[in-house]
Amino acid sequence: LAGLSGGCCFDFNAFQDNTYIVGTEEGRIRKCSKAYNQYLETYEGHYMSVYSVQWNRFHPNVFLTASADWTVKLWEQNMKSPLMSFDLGSTVGEAVWAPYSSTVFAAVTADGKVHVYDLNENKHEPMCDQLVVRKAKLTRLAFNPREPIILVGDDRGTVLSLKLSPNLRKVAKPEDGKTKQQMEVEKLDRIIDITTKDRQLMEKMEK
């Protein structure tokens, strides 16, 4: 990695111990393994530095990236191009999956905004888009693992605590014979399947 581009961030896959992804200064994402000296895959979609990468907490094949190019992108590790792209209108400091849902994520941007998405409710627009600071750039974000609270940090050293409204913390209802992880994987898989079919249809129409 060192000879190719500078790394900005990395994250290990909780379901595949040896596998991790690295976001680089040039905008590429590298999938790597502790068992090999070379990267396993390269994903291209960003054209500026990637500031955060994170595997989904429930789905072993899905990850999220945030970049200086104003976008957050959702990827499936077996596909080289992003499944979804979200333009947030400003440099994205970080994008993080929620601990309670496979389809909820939040991102912070340099214009002082917090953006919260639930792909199960809306695949295109955020459920919440709120300005929380005016004279600073938001750079970091973290979900509380138990309470409906997120922490955001800015480039001036300030940390703010924000409470999520009920519509931003929906949890799937339990189903007989299914674990929470199985339900969350199925929920995200349905969205991936719809998105993939929509893309294939658009490609056919363009030919």
pLDDT tens-place string over residues 82-93: 999 999 999 999
Note the pLDDT of residue 138. Answer: 97
**% of residues, the chain, pLDDT over 70:** 97
- Report pLDDT for 127: 95
Can you give the pLDDT at residue 39?
A: 85
Q: Are the beta carbons of 77 and 91 closer than 8 angstroms? A: no
- Mean pLDDT over 168-196 rounds to 89
**170: its two tokens:** 């929906």
The band of 3, judged by pLDDT with boundaries at 50, 70 and 90, is low
**pLDDT above 90: percentage of residues in the chain:** 80
Q: Give mean pLDDT, residues 169-186.
A: 87
pLDDT confidence band for 4 (50 / 70 / 90): low
pTM of the prediction? Answer: 0.92
For residue 1, pLDDT over 50 is answered with no
The angle subtended at Cα 46 by Cα 35 and Cα 2, nearest 5°, is 40
Query: What is the average per-residue pLDDT within 166-195?
Result: 89
Over residues 12-38, mean pLDDT = 92
Q: Give the least confident one: 33-37, 67-71, 104-108.
A: 33-37
pLDDT at 192 over 70: yes
**What's the residue count for the chain?**
207
* 3-class secondary structure, 127: coil
pLDDT in tens, 94-144: 999 999 999 999 999 999 999 999 999 999 999 999 999 999 999 999 999
Average pLDDT over residues 1-20: 83
Q: Are 96 and 143 in contact (CB under 8 A)?
A: yes
Unique residue bearing structure tokens 């993939």: 196
Task: At 192, give phi and psi (nearest 5°).
Answer: -60, -40
Sequence-ordered alpha helix ranges (H) in the chain: 180-206
Q: How confident is the model at residue 2 (pLDDT cuts 50, 70, 90)?
A: very low
Q: Which amino acid is at 133?
A: V
Mean pLDDT of the chain: 92
Residue partners of 29: CB distance under 8 A and separation at least 6: 21, 22, 23, 42, 43, 44, 45, 46, 50, 53, 65, 75
